[in-house]
């Protein structure tokens, strides 16, 4: 997992061949006014979505991991808490892996929580199990999906 400020995003573009376009998209948006919806960026292997829904409690947050996609998550305004654990420490899946949605959910609880604030991003790799959108009231979320 990587957590940093969007002002430092250029430091990470060499970590994946699609990161330059992903961060270019993020930086080109007015994050405070970006509308809920889906956003194509570069073919089927790089796209974004924006959602806005009420935050979850720590107990109700979905603890998830992906096998074939990376997430670059941005909280466009306000803040949210995110739970995290290394996948090697998580052992109790809830149901089977959903290949269509590239997600496995887990009943374990995160080892740690952090706050993602406006102007920051988090990158989650397949080895990062994460529980996003924890907080009170509506949380707007931008997620860029990057194919491995």
pLDDT for residue 78: 77
Q: List, for the chain, all residue ranges whose pLDDT scores fall below the cut of 70.
A: none
What is the chain's Cα-based Rg?
Answer: 14
The candidate with the shortest Cα–Cα distance to 115, out of 56, 75, 64, is 75
Q: What is the C-alpha to C-alpha distance for residues 148 and 141, in angstroms, rounded to an integer?
A: 22
The Cβ of residue 42 has, within 10 Å, a number of other Cβ atoms equal to: 14
pLDDT of residue 77: 79
pLDDT of 51: 95
Map residue 139 onto helix, strand or coil.
strand
**In order of start, what are the domains of the chain with their CATH numbers?**
2-147 (2.60.120.370)
- Residue pair 108/86 in contact (Cβ under 8 Å)? The answer is no
């Amino acid at each position: 997992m990587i957590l940093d400020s969007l002002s430092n995003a250029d430091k990470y573009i060499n970590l994946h061949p699609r990161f330059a376009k992903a961060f270019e998209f993020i930086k080109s948006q007015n994050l405070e006014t970006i509308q809920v919806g889906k956003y194509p960026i570069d073919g089927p292997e790089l796209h974004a979505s924006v959602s806005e829904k009420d935050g979850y409690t720590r107990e109700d947050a979905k603890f998830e991991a992906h096998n074939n996609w990376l997430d670059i998550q941005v909280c466009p305004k306000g803040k949210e808490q995110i739970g995290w654990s290394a996948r090697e420490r998580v052992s109790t899946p809830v149901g089977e892996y959903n290949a269509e949605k590239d997600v496995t959910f887990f009943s374990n609880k995160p080892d740690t929580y952090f706050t993602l604030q406006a102007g920051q991003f988090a990158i989650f790799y397949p080895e990062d199990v994460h529980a996003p959108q924890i907080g009170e009231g509506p949380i707007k979320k931008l997620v860029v999906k990057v194919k491995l």
